[in-house]
Amino acid sequence: MGRFTGKTAVITGSGRRQGLGEAIAKRLAREGAAVVISDLGRSADPATPPEHIGATAEMDEIAQDIRKAGGTASTKPCDVRDLEQMRALAKHAVDTHGSLDIWVNNAGIGYIMKPLLDVTAEDWRAVIDVNLTGCFFGIKAAAEVMVKAGRGGRIVNIASQAAKSGFPHAQAYTSSKHGLVGLVRSAAIELGPHAITVNNVCPNHVTTGLGAWQNEYFSKVVGAASVEDYLEAMANRIPMKRPGRASDTASAVAFLCSEEAEYITAESMNVSGGEEPH
């Protein structure tokens, strides 16, 4: 379609195969955007184990997929917990592709799940630092460039159904995602005069690589006979009778980044097949 031709998009947390970030990056690239694939690149500490981050090699492979399909992509490792690294990521987009028009805060921790009484202070801080503070740093880094350029822009956070409802074993995760609702409402007020929209996308469960880990974990928590039984019960409570797909989230992001959504800001859009009505 080419509706993002001439625009540059940064997607944090987009360096894992079968992740939401990969799906979002490929969707925007397919519609003409030059995309920056960004992830941690290597494990930085116990809160970011290798199996849950996008390694440098995976980032390169995803960028190569996009280039093979005729798109434009570059890579830039970044720790979203560091504002200066986020500013460097924004600068990379401009220096490499000529502009920064779209910023998607997708990086998140969804693998620290414990009963409330077992959650440590370190667990809490790790989740909040990535999921909420990381999005704040992303909004700030992107807005600094977009305001200076004077061409407007689109900022989208990947929140969650957990931004609207509570879940057991997910106190920090749910709190971080609820926080994104307030963050976009405030940021949208300040950035609206600059023609920059700020929104959340709130998917329900998606079986990405992280989602598969969550399936295993929560099937045991609820006492399901198997992961398959757990997923069947999940599908049965969703009006559309299936869990979400990465492509569902990518489609919502693409819409919010488009010209069609120029008057939509401060929103937290559910993409849940009707499971989350709030």
Question: pTM of this prediction?
Answer: 0.96
The answer to whether residue 60 is domain-embedded is: yes
What residues have CB less than 8 Å from 218, skipping those under 6 apart?
113, 169, 230
Partnered with residue 34 across adjacent β-strands are: 8, 72
pLDDT confidence of residue 183: 98
The answer to whether residue 159 is domain-embedded is: yes
Which tens digit of pLDDT belongs to each residue from 189-248?
999 999 999 999 999 999 887 778 888 888 888 898 898 999 999 999 999 999 999 999
Which tens digit of pLDDT belongs to each residue from 55-76?
999 999 999 999 999 999 999 9
The answer to whether residue 217 is domain-embedded is: no
The answer to whether residue 73 is domain-embedded is: yes
The answer to whether residue 189 is domain-embedded is: yes
Which tens digit of pLDDT belongs to each residue from 117-162?
999 999 999 999 999 999 999 999 999 999 999 999 999 999 999 9
- What percentage of the chain has pLDDT greater than the value 90? 90
Which tens digit of pLDDT belongs to each residue from 83-119?
999 999 999 999 999 999 999 999 999 999 999 999 9
CA–CA separation, 142 and 104 (whole Å): 10
Q: What is the distance, to the nearest Å, from the Cα of residue 198 to the centroid of all Cα atoms in its chain?
A: 13
Strand runs labelled E in 99-179: 102-105, 153-158
> Which residues have a catalytic role annotated?
173
CATH of the domain at 26: 3.40.50.720
Tell me how many domains the chain contains: 1
User: Among 26-35, 42-51, 224-233, which range has the highest average pLDDT?
Assistant: 26-35
Instruction: Fill in the amino acid letter for 237.
Output: R
- Domain extent, residue 50, equals 8-206+244-271
The answer to whether residue 182 is domain-embedded is: yes
Exposure b/e, 187-224, CB count within 10 A at least 16 = b: bbeebeebebbbbbbbbbbbbbebbebbbeebbeeeeb
